[in-house]
Structure 1
Amino acid sequence: MQISPPKHLAPYIRHYIFLENSREDIRSLRLFTDGSSGLILSGDMNLYSGASEDRMPLSFFYGTLNGYKDFASKGRFSLIAVVFQPYFLNILLKSSAMEIRNQVISAENVMKDKLEVFQEKLFNKTDPLWIIHDLNLFFTHFLSEGISNDHHLIASIQQYLLQNKGTVSSRNMQHFTGYSERHLERKFEYYIGMSPKKYGNIIRLHYFLSLINNEIEDKNMAFLSYEAGYSDQSHLIREFKNNIGLTPKQYLNTQNKMAVNFIEM
Protein backbone atom coordinates (compact mmCIF):
# COMPACT_ATOMS: atom_id res chain seq x y z
CA MET A 1 0.00 0.00 0.00
CA GLN A 2 1.50 3.33 -1.11
CA ILE A 3 0.12 6.60 0.29
CA SER A 4 0.97 10.14 -0.76
CA PRO A 5 1.66 12.82 1.87
CA PRO A 6 -0.50 15.97 2.12
CA LYS A 7 0.40 18.71 -0.36
CA HIS A 8 2.43 20.80 2.09
CA LEU A 9 4.70 17.81 2.85
CA ALA A 10 5.19 16.70 -0.76
CA PRO A 11 8.39 18.80 -1.17
CA TYR A 12 9.92 16.74 1.66
CA ILE A 13 8.25 13.31 1.58
CA ARG A 14 7.68 11.37 -1.65
CA HIS A 15 5.33 8.76 -0.23
CA TYR A 16 4.64 6.26 2.54
CA ILE A 17 4.66 2.51 1.93
CA PHE A 18 3.00 0.00 4.28
CA LEU A 19 4.28 -3.57 3.97
CA GLU A 20 3.13 -6.62 5.88
CA ASN A 21 4.45 -10.17 5.78
CA SER A 22 2.44 -13.04 7.28
CA ARG A 23 4.93 -15.76 6.33
CA GLU A 24 7.34 -17.37 8.79
CA ASP A 25 10.06 -18.27 6.30
CA ILE A 26 13.21 -16.36 5.37
CA ARG A 27 12.85 -13.84 2.55
CA SER A 28 15.65 -12.15 0.59
CA LEU A 29 14.91 -8.49 -0.11
CA ARG A 30 16.73 -5.87 -2.15
CA LEU A 31 16.47 -2.10 -1.81
CA PHE A 32 18.03 -0.27 -4.75
CA THR A 33 18.68 3.38 -5.34
CA ASP A 34 16.03 5.81 -6.52
CA GLY A 35 18.02 8.84 -5.32
CA SER A 36 15.96 9.07 -2.13
CA SER A 37 16.77 8.67 1.53
CA GLY A 38 14.21 7.38 3.99
CA LEU A 39 13.01 5.97 7.29
CA ILE A 40 11.94 2.39 8.04
CA LEU A 41 9.59 2.06 11.04
CA SER A 42 8.72 -1.29 12.56
CA GLY A 43 7.63 -2.71 15.87
CA ASP A 44 8.33 -6.41 15.29
CA MET A 45 10.73 -6.92 12.40
CA ASN A 46 13.66 -9.34 12.23
CA LEU A 47 15.65 -7.80 9.40
CA TYR A 48 19.30 -8.65 8.76
CA SER A 49 21.93 -7.11 6.52
CA GLY A 50 22.43 -9.40 3.54
CA ALA A 51 26.21 -8.97 3.51
CA SER A 52 27.15 -9.19 7.20
CA GLU A 53 24.00 -10.83 8.62
CA ASP A 54 23.97 -8.16 11.34
CA ARG A 55 20.53 -7.54 12.77
CA MET A 56 19.09 -4.19 11.72
CA PRO A 57 17.51 -1.79 14.24
CA LEU A 58 13.72 -2.00 14.52
CA SER A 59 13.56 1.49 13.06
CA PHE A 60 16.30 3.18 11.06
CA PHE A 61 17.15 5.96 8.64
CA TYR A 62 18.98 5.14 5.44
CA GLY A 63 21.04 7.56 3.38
CA THR A 64 21.00 7.80 -0.40
CA LEU A 65 22.38 4.66 -2.01
CA ASN A 66 25.08 4.39 -4.65
CA GLY A 67 23.59 1.10 -5.81
CA TYR A 68 21.64 -1.46 -3.81
CA LYS A 69 21.49 -3.17 -0.40
CA ASP A 70 20.36 -6.72 0.30
CA PHE A 71 18.49 -7.76 3.42
CA ALA A 72 17.09 -11.00 4.84
CA SER A 73 13.74 -11.00 6.62
CA LYS A 74 13.01 -13.77 9.14
CA GLY A 75 9.41 -14.31 10.19
CA ARG A 76 6.38 -12.04 10.19
CA PHE A 77 6.64 -8.27 10.15
CA SER A 78 4.80 -5.06 9.43
CA LEU A 79 6.59 -1.85 8.55
CA ILE A 80 6.09 1.65 7.24
CA ALA A 81 8.70 3.06 4.88
CA VAL A 82 8.78 6.85 4.74
CA VAL A 83 10.46 7.66 1.43
CA PHE A 84 12.00 11.12 1.67
CA GLN A 85 12.84 13.61 -1.00
CA PRO A 86 16.64 13.25 -1.27
CA TYR A 87 17.50 16.35 0.78
CA PHE A 88 15.05 15.79 3.66
CA LEU A 89 17.35 13.52 5.66
CA ASN A 90 19.90 16.35 5.69
CA ILE A 91 17.20 18.60 7.17
CA LEU A 92 16.19 16.03 9.79
CA LEU A 93 19.65 14.99 10.94
CA LYS A 94 21.47 18.28 10.23
CA SER A 95 24.53 16.50 8.90
CA SER A 96 26.24 16.09 5.53
CA ALA A 97 24.41 13.67 3.25
CA MET A 98 27.81 12.48 1.98
CA GLU A 99 28.68 11.25 5.48
CA ILE A 100 25.53 9.13 5.71
CA ARG A 101 25.43 7.95 2.08
CA ASN A 102 24.94 4.14 1.95
CA GLN A 103 24.61 4.18 5.75
CA VAL A 104 21.94 2.81 8.06
CA ILE A 105 21.43 4.81 11.27
CA SER A 106 19.33 3.64 14.20
CA ALA A 107 16.39 5.99 14.69
CA GLU A 108 16.80 5.67 18.45
CA ASN A 109 20.39 6.94 18.25
CA VAL A 110 19.45 10.22 16.57
CA MET A 111 15.86 10.86 17.67
CA LYS A 112 15.87 9.24 21.12
CA ASP A 113 12.28 8.18 21.90
CA LYS A 114 10.50 10.51 19.46
CA LEU A 115 9.60 7.67 17.07
CA GLU A 116 8.89 5.04 19.72
CA VAL A 117 5.16 5.80 19.72
CA PHE A 118 4.94 4.85 16.03
CA GLN A 119 6.80 1.59 16.65
CA GLU A 120 4.36 0.71 19.43
CA LYS A 121 1.38 1.39 17.17
CA LEU A 122 2.82 -0.89 14.49
CA PHE A 123 3.46 -3.58 17.10
CA ASN A 124 -0.15 -3.28 18.33
CA LYS A 125 -1.51 -3.54 14.75
CA THR A 126 -2.98 -0.03 14.69
CA ASP A 127 -4.53 0.92 11.34
CA PRO A 128 -1.54 2.08 9.24
CA LEU A 129 -3.58 4.98 7.84
CA TRP A 130 -3.91 6.38 11.38
CA ILE A 131 -0.17 5.95 11.95
CA ILE A 132 0.60 7.79 8.71
CA HIS A 133 -1.82 10.56 9.73
CA ASP A 134 0.15 10.97 12.97
CA LEU A 135 3.46 10.90 11.06
CA ASN A 136 2.18 13.74 8.89
CA LEU A 137 1.54 15.77 12.05
CA PHE A 138 5.00 14.87 13.39
CA PHE A 139 6.82 16.01 10.23
CA THR A 140 4.66 19.12 9.90
CA HIS A 141 5.61 20.17 13.42
CA PHE A 142 9.29 19.49 12.70
CA LEU A 143 9.22 21.64 9.56
CA SER A 144 7.56 24.58 11.32
CA GLU A 145 11.08 25.81 12.22
CA GLY A 146 11.65 26.82 8.59
CA ILE A 147 13.92 25.72 5.75
CA SER A 148 17.13 27.32 4.47
CA ASN A 149 17.45 28.92 1.03
CA ASP A 150 19.95 26.23 0.03
CA HIS A 151 17.30 23.55 0.42
CA HIS A 152 14.95 25.53 -1.83
CA LEU A 153 17.74 25.75 -4.42
CA ILE A 154 18.38 21.98 -4.32
CA ALA A 155 14.63 21.32 -4.59
CA SER A 156 14.43 23.56 -7.69
CA ILE A 157 17.33 21.75 -9.34
CA GLN A 158 15.74 18.40 -8.51
CA GLN A 159 12.50 19.46 -10.22
CA TYR A 160 14.47 20.69 -13.24
CA LEU A 161 16.18 17.30 -13.53
CA LEU A 162 12.87 15.45 -13.13
CA GLN A 163 11.19 17.56 -15.81
CA ASN A 164 14.01 16.66 -18.20
CA LYS A 165 13.98 12.97 -17.19
CA GLY A 166 17.51 13.27 -15.84
CA THR A 167 19.10 14.26 -19.15
CA VAL A 168 20.60 17.72 -18.53
CA SER A 169 24.04 18.90 -19.68
CA SER A 170 26.45 20.64 -17.32
CA ARG A 171 26.13 23.80 -19.40
CA ASN A 172 22.33 23.80 -19.14
CA MET A 173 22.56 23.18 -15.40
CA GLN A 174 24.91 26.14 -14.98
CA HIS A 175 22.62 28.32 -17.08
CA PHE A 176 19.58 27.27 -15.01
CA THR A 177 21.20 27.95 -11.64
CA GLY A 178 23.84 30.59 -12.34
CA TYR A 179 26.42 28.50 -10.45
CA SER A 180 29.58 26.74 -11.62
CA GLU A 181 29.64 22.97 -12.05
CA ARG A 182 31.97 22.50 -9.06
CA HIS A 183 29.84 24.72 -6.81
CA LEU A 184 26.74 22.70 -7.69
CA GLU A 185 28.58 19.43 -7.05
CA ARG A 186 29.57 20.58 -3.55
CA LYS A 187 25.99 21.66 -2.77
CA PHE A 188 24.49 18.43 -4.07
CA GLU A 189 27.00 16.25 -2.26
CA TYR A 190 26.31 18.02 1.05
CA TYR A 191 22.52 18.05 0.79
CA ILE A 192 21.80 14.89 -1.25
CA GLY A 193 24.97 12.79 -1.01
CA MET A 194 25.81 12.58 -4.72
CA SER A 195 26.62 14.78 -7.69
CA PRO A 196 23.91 16.28 -9.95
CA LYS A 197 25.19 13.99 -12.75
CA LYS A 198 24.78 10.84 -10.63
CA TYR A 199 21.33 11.95 -9.49
CA GLY A 200 20.34 12.68 -13.10
CA ASN A 201 21.47 9.18 -14.11
CA ILE A 202 19.24 7.68 -11.41
CA ILE A 203 16.26 9.73 -12.60
CA ARG A 204 16.87 8.52 -16.16
CA LEU A 205 17.10 4.91 -14.96
CA HIS A 206 13.80 5.21 -13.10
CA TYR A 207 12.18 6.77 -16.14
CA PHE A 208 13.24 3.65 -18.03
CA LEU A 209 11.78 1.53 -15.22
CA SER A 210 8.47 3.38 -15.58
CA LEU A 211 8.48 2.51 -19.29
CA ILE A 212 9.13 -1.21 -18.83
CA ASN A 213 6.76 -1.50 -15.86
CA ASN A 214 3.76 -0.29 -17.84
CA GLU A 215 1.28 -2.59 -19.53
CA ILE A 216 3.03 -2.86 -22.90
CA GLU A 217 3.20 -6.59 -23.65
CA ASP A 218 5.84 -6.49 -26.39
CA LYS A 219 8.65 -4.57 -24.69
CA ASN A 220 11.34 -3.58 -27.21
CA MET A 221 14.26 -2.91 -24.86
CA ALA A 222 16.37 -1.17 -27.48
CA PHE A 223 13.56 1.24 -28.39
CA LEU A 224 12.72 1.95 -24.74
CA SER A 225 16.38 2.53 -23.87
CA TYR A 226 16.63 5.19 -26.61
CA GLU A 227 13.31 6.64 -25.40
CA ALA A 228 14.82 7.02 -21.92
CA GLY A 229 17.87 8.85 -23.31
CA TYR A 230 20.49 6.08 -23.40
CA SER A 231 22.97 6.19 -26.28
CA ASP A 232 22.86 2.42 -26.71
CA GLN A 233 21.44 -0.68 -25.04
CA SER A 234 24.79 -1.81 -23.61
CA HIS A 235 25.06 1.51 -21.74
CA LEU A 236 21.61 0.94 -20.24
CA ILE A 237 22.42 -2.63 -19.16
CA ARG A 238 25.65 -1.44 -17.52
CA GLU A 239 23.78 1.28 -15.56
CA PHE A 240 21.02 -1.18 -14.67
CA LYS A 241 23.41 -3.78 -13.26
CA ASN A 242 25.48 -1.19 -11.36
CA ASN A 243 22.41 0.27 -9.66
CA ILE A 244 20.06 -2.71 -9.32
CA GLY A 245 22.35 -5.74 -9.59
CA LEU A 246 20.14 -7.28 -12.29
CA THR A 247 19.64 -7.02 -16.03
CA PRO A 248 16.36 -5.42 -17.23
CA LYS A 249 14.98 -8.88 -18.12
CA GLN A 250 15.89 -10.29 -14.71
CA TYR A 251 14.16 -7.33 -13.08
CA LEU A 252 11.03 -7.85 -15.16
CA ASN A 253 10.96 -11.53 -14.18
CA THR A 254 11.10 -10.65 -10.47
CA GLN A 255 7.79 -11.86 -9.08
CA ASN A 256 7.29 -9.69 -6.01
CA LYS A 257 7.93 -5.97 -6.54
CA MET A 258 6.91 -4.56 -3.16
CA ALA A 259 7.74 -1.04 -4.35
CA VAL A 260 9.39 0.35 -7.46
CA ASN A 261 12.80 0.08 -5.80
CA PHE A 262 12.13 -2.69 -3.24
CA ILE A 263 11.94 -6.25 -4.53
CA GLU A 264 11.98 -9.82 -3.26
CA MET A 265 14.85 -11.81 -4.73
Structure 2
Amino acid sequence: MLSPLLFDIRFPQGPLSLWVQAIWSAQIPMDQQGVTRRLVADAGSGILFNLGEPIRVDQEVWNEPVIFQSTNRQAHIIHLPTGANLVGVRFQPGMGGLLQTELAALEGNIGSWQSSEFIQSLLVQLKSILSVEERINLLDKAFDHVTSGSTYDHDPVVKAIELLQQSSRVDLLDSLPLSQRQIERQFQTRLSMSPKYFQRLRRVRAVLLALKMEENHVKLAELAVEYGFSDQAHMTRECQLIAGITPKRFMKSRLLR
Protein backbone atom coordinates (compact mmCIF):
# COMPACT_ATOMS: atom_id res chain seq x y z
CA MET A 1 0.00 0.00 0.00
CA LEU A 2 1.33 3.40 -0.98
CA SER A 3 1.72 5.92 1.83
CA PRO A 4 -0.49 9.02 1.64
CA LEU A 5 2.46 11.06 2.88
CA LEU A 6 4.00 13.30 0.21
CA PHE A 7 7.58 13.78 1.39
CA ASP A 8 10.43 15.65 -0.31
CA ILE A 9 13.91 16.29 1.05
CA ARG A 10 17.11 18.03 0.00
CA PHE A 11 20.54 17.65 1.55
CA PRO A 12 22.44 20.95 1.17
CA GLN A 13 25.89 20.99 -0.37
CA GLY A 14 28.89 23.24 0.18
CA PRO A 15 29.28 25.58 3.19
CA LEU A 16 25.59 25.37 4.14
CA SER A 17 25.98 21.65 4.87
CA LEU A 18 28.03 22.58 7.95
CA TRP A 19 24.88 24.17 9.40
CA VAL A 20 21.96 22.34 7.79
CA GLN A 21 21.63 18.59 7.27
CA ALA A 22 18.31 18.68 5.41
CA ILE A 23 15.48 20.85 4.11
CA TRP A 24 12.21 18.97 3.77
CA SER A 25 8.50 19.13 2.99
CA ALA A 26 5.69 16.86 4.22
CA GLN A 27 2.05 16.97 3.12
CA ILE A 28 -1.09 14.87 3.55
CA PRO A 29 -3.68 15.59 0.82
CA MET A 30 -7.22 16.44 1.93
CA ASP A 31 -8.56 13.21 0.41
CA GLN A 32 -6.12 11.00 2.35
CA GLN A 33 -6.00 9.71 5.91
CA GLY A 34 -3.43 10.97 8.38
CA VAL A 35 -0.26 9.03 9.16
CA THR A 36 1.80 8.32 12.26
CA ARG A 37 5.57 7.99 12.10
CA ARG A 38 8.45 7.43 14.49
CA LEU A 39 11.11 10.15 14.47
CA VAL A 40 14.48 8.60 15.26
CA ALA A 41 16.71 10.73 17.50
CA ASP A 42 19.57 12.36 15.57
CA ALA A 43 21.00 14.94 18.06
CA GLY A 44 19.92 17.65 15.64
CA SER A 45 17.47 20.49 16.12
CA GLY A 46 15.10 22.07 13.64
CA ILE A 47 12.69 24.78 12.68
CA LEU A 48 9.29 23.84 11.34
CA PHE A 49 6.89 26.04 9.36
CA ASN A 50 3.34 24.75 9.83
CA LEU A 51 1.26 25.88 6.85
CA GLY A 52 -1.65 23.50 7.37
CA GLU A 53 -3.54 21.65 10.08
CA PRO A 54 -2.13 21.28 13.63
CA ILE A 55 0.06 18.23 14.12
CA ARG A 56 0.69 16.08 17.19
CA VAL A 57 4.07 15.05 18.55
CA ASP A 58 3.78 12.37 21.24
CA GLN A 59 0.75 13.67 23.16
CA GLU A 60 1.31 17.37 22.49
CA VAL A 61 -0.58 19.32 19.83
CA TRP A 62 1.59 21.70 17.79
CA ASN A 63 -0.43 24.46 16.14
CA GLU A 64 1.97 27.42 16.05
CA PRO A 65 2.99 28.58 12.54
CA VAL A 66 6.68 28.55 13.53
CA ILE A 67 8.01 25.82 15.83
CA PHE A 68 11.59 25.34 16.98
CA GLN A 69 12.44 21.71 17.69
CA SER A 70 15.09 21.48 20.39
CA THR A 71 17.92 18.95 20.27
CA ASN A 72 16.42 15.52 19.69
CA ARG A 73 17.76 13.17 22.40
CA GLN A 74 15.20 10.39 22.05
CA ALA A 75 12.64 9.09 19.59
CA HIS A 76 9.26 10.81 19.20
CA ILE A 77 5.99 9.77 17.59
CA ILE A 78 4.56 12.31 15.16
CA HIS A 79 1.00 12.26 13.79
CA LEU A 80 0.26 14.19 10.60
CA PRO A 81 -3.48 14.65 10.03
CA THR A 82 -5.39 15.12 6.81
CA GLY A 83 -4.43 18.54 5.48
CA ALA A 84 -0.98 18.60 7.10
CA ASN A 85 1.33 20.93 5.20
CA LEU A 86 4.81 21.35 6.63
CA VAL A 87 8.19 22.56 5.49
CA GLY A 88 11.23 22.51 7.70
CA VAL A 89 14.95 22.89 8.16
CA ARG A 90 16.93 20.27 10.09
CA PHE A 91 20.14 21.65 11.58
CA GLN A 92 23.34 19.76 12.15
CA PRO A 93 23.95 18.77 15.78
CA GLY A 94 24.87 21.83 17.85
CA MET A 95 24.31 24.35 15.04
CA GLY A 96 20.64 25.32 15.43
CA GLY A 97 21.11 27.10 18.74
CA LEU A 98 24.27 28.75 17.45
CA LEU A 99 22.45 30.15 14.43
CA GLN A 100 19.59 31.32 16.63
CA THR A 101 22.06 33.25 18.80
CA GLU A 102 23.72 34.82 15.76
CA LEU A 103 20.37 35.92 14.31
CA ALA A 104 19.37 37.45 17.63
CA ALA A 105 22.61 39.44 17.75
CA LEU A 106 22.13 40.68 14.18
CA GLU A 107 18.50 41.66 14.69
CA GLY A 108 18.74 42.86 18.30
CA ASN A 109 15.83 40.71 19.50
CA ILE A 110 15.40 38.39 22.47
CA GLY A 111 16.65 35.34 20.60
CA SER A 112 13.48 33.37 19.82
CA TRP A 113 12.75 32.09 16.33
CA GLN A 114 9.21 33.47 16.57
CA SER A 115 10.51 37.02 17.08
CA SER A 116 13.10 36.83 14.29
CA GLU A 117 12.42 39.14 11.34
CA PHE A 118 14.28 36.68 9.11
CA ILE A 119 12.01 33.79 10.13
CA GLN A 120 8.80 35.81 9.94
CA SER A 121 9.73 37.00 6.45
CA LEU A 122 10.26 33.39 5.38
CA LEU A 123 6.88 32.40 6.83
CA VAL A 124 5.10 35.08 4.80
CA GLN A 125 6.86 34.01 1.61
CA LEU A 126 6.21 30.30 2.20
CA LYS A 127 2.48 30.94 2.62
CA SER A 128 2.35 32.47 -0.86
CA ILE A 129 4.23 29.59 -2.54
CA LEU A 130 2.42 26.37 -3.42
CA SER A 131 5.23 24.49 -5.17
CA VAL A 132 7.22 22.22 -2.86
CA GLU A 133 10.36 22.67 -4.95
CA GLU A 134 10.08 26.47 -4.76
CA ARG A 135 9.61 26.31 -0.99
CA ILE A 136 12.71 24.18 -0.56
CA ASN A 137 14.65 26.47 -2.92
CA LEU A 138 13.59 29.49 -0.86
CA LEU A 139 14.81 27.98 2.40
CA ASP A 140 18.02 26.72 0.82
CA LYS A 141 18.94 30.16 -0.55
CA ALA A 142 17.79 32.05 2.55
CA PHE A 143 19.78 29.97 5.04
CA ASP A 144 22.78 29.84 2.71
CA HIS A 145 22.74 33.66 2.63
CA VAL A 146 22.35 34.12 6.39
CA THR A 147 25.17 31.66 7.20
CA SER A 148 27.56 32.74 4.43
CA GLY A 149 29.37 35.22 6.67
CA SER A 150 29.96 32.71 9.44
CA THR A 151 32.48 29.91 9.44
CA TYR A 152 32.99 27.23 12.06
CA ASP A 153 35.37 24.96 10.19
CA HIS A 154 37.73 24.97 13.17
CA ASP A 155 35.08 24.83 15.88
CA PRO A 156 36.25 22.09 18.30
CA VAL A 157 32.66 21.00 18.97
CA VAL A 158 32.03 20.56 15.24
CA LYS A 159 35.27 18.60 14.98
CA ALA A 160 34.29 16.45 17.97
CA ILE A 161 30.91 15.70 16.39
CA GLU A 162 32.61 14.68 13.14
CA LEU A 163 35.00 12.35 15.00
CA LEU A 164 32.19 10.68 16.96
CA GLN A 165 30.14 10.16 13.81
CA GLN A 166 33.06 8.49 12.07
CA SER A 167 34.16 6.20 14.89
CA SER A 168 32.91 4.50 18.04
CA ARG A 169 36.08 5.52 19.90
CA VAL A 170 35.49 8.38 22.34
CA ASP A 171 39.24 8.53 23.03
CA LEU A 172 39.71 10.17 19.61
CA LEU A 173 38.57 13.39 21.28
CA ASP A 174 41.95 13.49 23.02
CA SER A 175 43.34 14.91 19.76
CA LEU A 176 41.29 18.10 20.13
CA PRO A 177 42.72 21.32 21.65
CA LEU A 178 40.30 21.08 24.59
CA SER A 179 40.36 19.17 27.84
CA GLN A 180 37.82 16.43 28.46
CA ARG A 181 36.04 18.72 30.91
CA GLN A 182 35.84 21.54 28.34
CA ILE A 183 34.46 19.18 25.70
CA GLU A 184 31.85 17.86 28.15
CA ARG A 185 30.80 21.42 29.01
CA GLN A 186 30.58 22.48 25.36
CA PHE A 187 28.47 19.43 24.48
CA GLN A 188 26.08 20.08 27.37
CA THR A 189 25.74 23.73 26.32
CA ARG A 190 25.33 23.14 22.59
CA LEU A 191 23.67 19.70 22.42
CA SER A 192 22.25 19.18 25.94
CA MET A 193 24.04 15.82 26.18
CA SER A 194 27.46 14.33 26.84
CA PRO A 195 29.81 13.14 24.07
CA LYS A 196 29.22 9.53 25.15
CA TYR A 197 25.44 9.88 24.91
CA PHE A 198 25.81 11.53 21.50
CA GLN A 199 27.88 8.57 20.35
CA ARG A 200 25.27 6.11 21.64
CA LEU A 201 22.47 8.01 19.94
CA ARG A 202 24.23 8.20 16.58
CA ARG A 203 25.14 4.49 16.75
CA VAL A 204 21.51 3.50 17.31
CA ARG A 205 20.38 5.76 14.49
CA ALA A 206 22.97 4.21 12.16
CA VAL A 207 21.66 0.72 12.94
CA LEU A 208 18.04 1.67 12.23
CA LEU A 209 19.05 3.34 8.97
CA ALA A 210 20.92 0.17 7.98
CA LEU A 211 17.84 -1.93 8.78
CA LYS A 212 15.84 -0.01 6.18
CA MET A 213 17.68 -2.22 3.68
CA GLU A 214 16.12 -5.68 3.76
CA GLU A 215 19.42 -7.46 3.11
CA ASN A 216 20.47 -6.49 6.65
CA HIS A 217 17.44 -8.11 8.30
CA VAL A 218 19.05 -11.54 8.59
CA LYS A 219 22.33 -10.50 10.20
CA LEU A 220 21.55 -8.61 13.39
CA ALA A 221 24.52 -10.12 15.21
CA GLU A 222 26.86 -8.92 12.46
CA LEU A 223 25.31 -5.44 12.52
CA ALA A 224 25.86 -5.26 16.26
CA VAL A 225 29.58 -5.86 15.84
CA GLU A 226 29.83 -3.57 12.80
CA TYR A 227 28.35 -0.61 14.70
CA GLY A 228 30.38 -1.06 17.86
CA PHE A 229 28.01 -2.91 20.20
CA SER A 230 29.37 -5.69 22.40
CA ASP A 231 26.76 -8.11 21.06
CA GLN A 232 23.22 -8.33 19.65
CA ALA A 233 21.63 -8.13 23.10
CA HIS A 234 23.52 -4.89 23.80
CA MET A 235 22.30 -3.43 20.50
CA THR A 236 18.71 -4.44 21.29
CA ARG A 237 18.83 -2.78 24.73
CA GLU A 238 20.26 0.45 23.33
CA CYS A 239 17.69 0.63 20.52
CA GLN A 240 14.86 0.07 22.99
CA LEU A 241 16.20 2.71 25.38
CA ILE A 242 17.03 5.44 22.85
CA ALA A 243 14.69 4.76 19.91
CA GLY A 244 11.85 3.14 21.85
CA ILE A 245 11.86 0.11 19.55
CA THR A 246 13.94 -3.04 19.16
CA PRO A 247 15.62 -3.91 15.83
CA LYS A 248 13.21 -6.82 15.28
CA ARG A 249 10.13 -4.68 15.93
CA PHE A 250 11.58 -1.96 13.69
CA MET A 251 12.01 -4.45 10.84
CA LYS A 252 8.46 -5.73 11.31
CA SER A 253 7.01 -2.21 11.30
CA ARG A 254 8.88 -1.46 8.05
CA LEU A 255 7.50 -4.59 6.36
CA LEU A 256 3.92 -3.75 7.37
CA ARG A 257 3.92 -0.35 5.63
The two structures have a TM-score, normalised by structure 2, of 0.82
SS state of the match for residue 91, structure 1? helix
What's the counterpart of residue 168 of structure 1? 169
Distance 1:76 1:114 in 2: 23
Alignment of structure 1 residues 120-159 onto 2, 5 Å: 120-121=127-128, 124-125=129-130, 127-147=131-151, 152-159=155-162
| Residues 1:222 and 2:218 are matched in the alignment | no
Q: RMSD across aligned C-alpha pairs, in angstroms?
A: 2.7
The two structures have a TM-score, normalised by structure 1, of 0.79
Instruction: Report if the CA contact (8 A) 2:210-2:216 is conserved.
Output: no
Aligned in 2, Cα 1:56/1:248: closer, same or farther, shift over 3 Å? farther
Per-residue CA shift, 1:194-253, capped at 9, x if unaligned? 111111112211222233222416522112111111002222111111222111121122
Aligned in 2, Cα 1:209/1:118: closer, same or farther, shift over 3 Å? farther
Aligned in 2, Cα 1:228/1:20: closer, same or farther, shift over 3 Å? same
Distance 1:106 1:9 in 2: 21
Instruction: Report if the CA contact (8 A) 1:57-1:106 is conserved.
Output: no
Aligned in 2, Cα 1:185/1:217: closer, same or farther, shift over 3 Å? closer
Higher-helix-fraction structure:
2
| Residues 1:56 and 2:63 are matched in the alignment | yes
* 2:52 equivalent among 24, 44, 66: 44
Aligned in 2, Cα 1:178/1:41: closer, same or farther, shift over 3 Å? same
Distance 1:225 1:49 in 2: 30
Distance 1:232 1:255 in 2: 23
Query: What is the total number of aligned residue pairs between the two structures?
Result: 240
| Residues 1:68 and 2:75 are matched in the alignment | yes
Instruction: Report if the CA contact (8 A) 1:13-1:83 is conserved.
Output: yes
Q: Which amino acid aligns with 1:173?
A: L
Identity of matched residues, %: 22
Distance 2:225 2:17 in 1: 31
SS state of the match for residue 86, structure 2? strand
| Residues 1:32 and 2:40 are matched in the alignment | yes
Aligned in 2, Cα 1:194/1:118: closer, same or farther, shift over 3 Å? farther
Aligned in 2, Cα 1:194/1:157: closer, same or farther, shift over 3 Å? same
* 1:108 equivalent among 114, 127, 144: 114
**Which structure 2 residue ranges, 5 or more long, are not aligned?**
1-7, 103-110
Q: Which amino acid aligns with 1:136?
A: D
Instruction: Report if the CA contact (8 A) 1:49-1:56 is conserved.
Output: no
Distance 1:91 1:173 in 2: 21
